[in-house]
């Protein structure tokens, strides 16, 4: 299910096709199924009543004062790959 | 079922429905996943056209006299009232909130907002002061110009009314962007506005935040920004306004304290707990998500609260008996369930709920059981971060000083309540909590005529009251010498 509660297309259900960087738009990242859990577990909410954060992941991590953004992003990519293999 | 919405919606710019330059996007009912409509996405050119149209309209709208502006605002309210059932159902389908709430709260409050500002506009006056016997100072309020407004998905039509009514009353013109999750009720409202407003006075642009929203923030043509949404996005709005040296009003997040003393009006208090966190599925910026209960009544209060939560009918939002509907979308469900896991890891206990509901026809939607966490410490993440769902944290307190300290230990300060029959205590606690709105023996009442807005990171400015006109106008001082004599300096 996607942002609008609908089943998404195949691309958004396929793990591992997107390498997340600090420049990746949060709106694109949250289309990946299960990825919001990673954000919440690591203290960053990527969505709100405004919808998905409308800028890059780097900007979100900066606003949320994440101490080690590179580690967050590395962990996120590992999480996505791990989910893809399950 | 009767079809309440169109299959396709365009942008409403300069009084006309026009195709957007961006990608089209779909909006679905979160309660069953069904496609509701396809909407246009505004690109940069569309924002340019909307802003230009608004400035053209402003040339005449700014001089429309208060009597006429009042008549138009009242007419908008009348049209909304005549279409209330349709607007209620559109809101319910697009957002997932129960029809009993949209019929009784969202739509009537929105209508009343236009009526309130229709009244206010006739009572507004400037000021005149004699600085000395020969010098007069006049202070006039003038409309600020074209305003950019961005609103969230949790109360689409109500937030639109909170923004549009004062702007129109002030003589401003507007470009408004609803959330791409819930654009339909505002687009339906635009059809009604088209019947009474001159072209360009209100322009509705739809699209995602990362495209349409950001184009609005980058546009140099706005004289003011008004935003309701998250604190994270609020930073971007404030930054965009600062770069243009224009004002911004911001209504942002919250983690509000709902405080229960032993002498609370018991049955009303149990209901107030539910209104605080279950209304709109807990997707309320001022939700009473931190519940502080005095130790003398904690066990009894918790027991009755659990029983009350377990009786709540969660169901399809368009059914009359439904008390709690669907969350807004799948990622919001994921977020809420994520926080429930965080709470468990932090050591809190789930007293009721804590899971997704999929039975009795709810399997295609986004339903969460009303959830109570106990054994919560106010420092825990679930007590500090906005979950935005029907999840409440119970925290025990010993005395007034104890609860005031914990309630204020939050980066937010939007809502809150104190439940007691002791009037002195009610005022002491209400005054001590650092928040823009404290309810006493009620919760989530949000009528026009009482200002609403946040302290701390919950925002800047107060809406739902005539004082918001301060933000939609600018002050002109006319300084007059009545004397015929020279000053004598040259």
Residue-wise pLDDT tens digits, B281-333: 999 999 999 999 999 999 999 999 999 999 999 999 999 999 999 999 999 99
Confidence of residue A1 (pLDDT cuts 50, 70, 90): very low
Residues from chain B that touch A4, judged by Cβ atoms under 8 A, are 25-28, 30, 181, 329
* Nearest one of B167, B166, B164, B165 to B178, comparing CA atoms: B164
HEC profile for chain B? CCCCCCCEECEEECCEEECCCCCCEEEECCCCCCEEEEECCCCHHHHHHHHHHHHHHHHHHCCCCHHHHHHHHHHHHHHHHHCHHHHHHHHHHHHCCCHHHHHHHHHHHHHHHHHHHHHHHHHCCCEEEEEECCEEEEEEEEECCEEEEECCCCCHHHHHHHHHHHHHHHCCEEEEECCCCCCHHHHHHHHHHHHHCCCCCEEECCCCHHHHHHHHHHCCCCCEEEEECCHHHHHHHHHHHHHHCCCEEEECCCCCEEEECCCCCHHHHHHHHHHHHHHHHHCCCCCCCEEEEECCCHHHHHHHHHHHHHHCCECCCCCCCCCECCCCCHHHHHHHHHHHHHHHHHCCEEEECCCEECCCCCCCCCEECCEEEECCCCCCHHHHCCCCCCEEEEEEECCHHHHHHHHHCCCEECCEEEECCCHHHHHHHHHHCCCCCCEECCCCCCCCCCCECCEECCEECCECCHHHHHHHEEEEEEEEECCCCCCCCC
pLDDT at res. B50: 98
Residues from chain B that touch A63, judged by Cβ atoms under 8 A, are 232, 235
Check B208 against A54: CB less than 8 A apart: yes
Nearest CA in chain B to A32: B331
Mean pLDDT of chain B: 97
pLDDT at res. A9: 37
Q: Is the pLDDT of residue A16 over 50?
A: no
Query: Average pLDDT for residues A41-66, to the nearest whole number?
Result: 96
Q: Which of B231, B232, B239, B380 to mutate to test the interface with A (most CBs of A within 10 A)?
A: B232
pLDDT at res. B3: 87
Check A36 against B229: CB less than 8 A apart: no
Check B35 against A41: CB less than 8 A apart: no
Nearest CB partner across the interface for A51, out of B31, B179, B337: B179
Least confident of A4-13, A25-34, B160-169, B470-479: A4-13
Check B230 against A49: CB less than 8 A apart: yes
Nearest CB partner across the interface for B233, out of A4, A7, A54: A54
Query: Average pLDDT for residues B257-269, to the nearest whole number?
Result: 98
Catalytic residue among B41, B181, B251, B386: B251
What is d(CA B297, CA B261) in angstroms, rounded to the nearest whole number? Answer: 8
Give catalytic status of residue B251 as yes or no.
Answer: yes
Q: Is the pLDDT of residue B183 over 60?
A: yes
Nearest CA in chain A to B229: A50
Residues from chain A that touch B31, judged by Cβ atoms under 8 A, are 5
pLDDT at res. A18: 77
- ∠ CA(B92), CA(B156), CA(A57), 5° rounding? 115
Catalytic residue among B29, B39, B264, B285: B285
Give tens-digit pLDDT for B49-90. 999 999 999 999 999 999 999 999 999 999 999 999 999 999
pLDDT at res. A71: 97
Q: Which of A3, A5, A38 to mutate to test the interface with B (most CBs of B within 10 A)?
A: A5
Q: What percent of chain B has pLDDT over 90?
A: 99
Nearest CA in chain B to A28: B210
pLDDT at res. A2: 39
Residues from chain B that touch A41, judged by Cβ atoms under 8 A, are 338, 341-342
Check B331 against A3: CB less than 8 A apart: yes
What is d(CA B72, CA B114) in angstroms, rounded to the nearest whole number? Answer: 9
Confidence of residue A17 (pLDDT cuts 50, 70, 90): low
Q: Is the pLDDT of residue B213 over 50?
A: yes
pLDDT at res. B490: 97
Check B209 against A27: CB less than 8 A apart: yes
pLDDT at res. A10: 35
pLDDT at res. B436: 98
Residues from chain B that touch A7, judged by Cβ atoms under 8 A, are 33
Nearest CA in chain B to A48: B230
Nearest CB partner across the interface for B210, out of A27, A41, A49: A27
Number of CB pairs < 8 Å for A and B?
A: 124
Q: Is the pLDDT of residue B1 over 80?
A: no
Q: Other CB atoms closer than 10 Å to residue A49's CB: what's the count?
A: 25
pLDDT at res. B143: 98
* DSSP strand pairing (B16-18 vs B11-13): antiparallel
Distance from CA of B364 to the nearest CA of A (A): 9
Query: Average pLDDT for residues A36-56, to the nearest whole number?
Result: 96
In contact, B397 and B295? CB cutoff 8 Å:
yes
Distance from CA of A71 to the nearest CA of B (A): 20
**Chain A: residues touching B (Cβ < 8 Å):** 1-7, 25-27, 30, 34, 36-37, 39-41, 43, 45, 47-55, 59-60, 63-64
Q: Is the pLDDT of residue A13 over 60?
A: no
């Amino acid at each position: 299910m996607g942002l609008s509660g609908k089943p998404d297309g195949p691309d958004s259900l396929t793990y591992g096709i997107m390498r997340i960087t600090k420049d990746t738009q949060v709106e694109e990242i949250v289309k990946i199924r299960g990825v919001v859990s990673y954000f919440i577990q690591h203290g960053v909410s990527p969505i709100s009543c405004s919808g998905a954060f409308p800028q890059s992941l780097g900007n979100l991590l900066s606003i949320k004062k994440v101490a080690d953004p590179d580690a967050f992003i590395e962990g996120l990519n590992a999480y996505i790959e791990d989910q893809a293999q399950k | 079922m009767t079809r309440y919405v169109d299959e396709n919606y365009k942008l409403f710019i300069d009084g006309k429905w026009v195709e957007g330059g961006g990608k089209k996007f779909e909006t679905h009912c979160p309660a069953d996943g069904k496609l509701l409509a396809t909407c246009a996405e505004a690109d940069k050119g569309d924002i340019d056209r909307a802003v230009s149209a608004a400035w053209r309209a402003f040339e005449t709208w700014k001089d429309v006299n208060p009597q006429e502006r009042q008549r138009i605002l009242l007419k908008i309210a009348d049209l909304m009232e005549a279409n209330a059932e349709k607007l209620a159902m559109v809101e319910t389908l697009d957002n997932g909130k129960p029809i009993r709430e949209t019929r009784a709260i969202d739509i009537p409050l929105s209508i009343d907002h236009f009526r309130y500002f229709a009244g206010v506009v006739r009572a507004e006056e400037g000021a005149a002061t004699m600085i000395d016997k020969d010098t007069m100072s006049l202070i006039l309020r003038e409309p600020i110009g074209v305003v950019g407004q961005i609103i969230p998905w949790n109360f689409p039509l109500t937030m639109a009314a909170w923004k549009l009514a004062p702007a129109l009353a002030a003589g401003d013109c507007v470009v408004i962007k609803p959330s791409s999750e819930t654009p339909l009720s505002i687009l339906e409202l635009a059809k009604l506005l088209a019947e009474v407003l001159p072209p360009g006075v209100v322009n509705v642009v739809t699209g995602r935040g990362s495209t349409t929203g950001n184009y609005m923030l980058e546009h140099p043509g706005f004289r003011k920004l008004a935003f309701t949404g998250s604190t994270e996005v609020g930073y971007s709005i404030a930054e965009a306004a600062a770069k243009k040296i224009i004002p911004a009003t911001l209504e942002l997040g919250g983690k509000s304290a709902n405080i229960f003393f032993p002498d609370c009006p018991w049955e009303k208090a149990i209901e107030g707990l539910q209104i605080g966190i279950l209304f709109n599925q807990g997707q309320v910026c001022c939700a009473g998500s931190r519940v502080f209960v005095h130790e003398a009544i904690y066990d009894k209060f918790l027991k009755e609260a659990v029983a009350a939560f377990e009786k709540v009918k969660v169901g399809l939002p368009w059914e009359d008996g439904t008390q709690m509907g669907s969350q807004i979308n799948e990622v919001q469900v994921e977020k809420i369930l994520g926080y429930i896991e965080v709470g468990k890891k932090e050591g809190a206990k789930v007293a009721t709920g804590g899971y997704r509901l999929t039975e009795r026809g709810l399997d295609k939607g986004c339903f969460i059981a009303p959830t109570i966490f106990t054994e919560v410490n106010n420092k825990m993440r679930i007590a500090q971060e906005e979950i935005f769902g029907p999840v409440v944290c119970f925290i025990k307190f010993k005395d007034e000083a104890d609860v005031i300290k914990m309630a204020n230990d939050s980066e937010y300060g939007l809502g809150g309540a104190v439940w007691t029959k002791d009037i002195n205590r009610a005022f002491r606690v209400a005054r001590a909590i650092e928040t823009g709105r404290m309810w006493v023996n009620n919760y989530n009442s949000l009528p026009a005529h009482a200002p609403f807005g946040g302290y701390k990171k919950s925002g800047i400015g107060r809406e739902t009251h005539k004082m918001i006109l301060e933000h939609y106008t600018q002050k002109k001082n006319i300084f007059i010498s009545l004397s015929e004599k020279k000053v004598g300096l040259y």
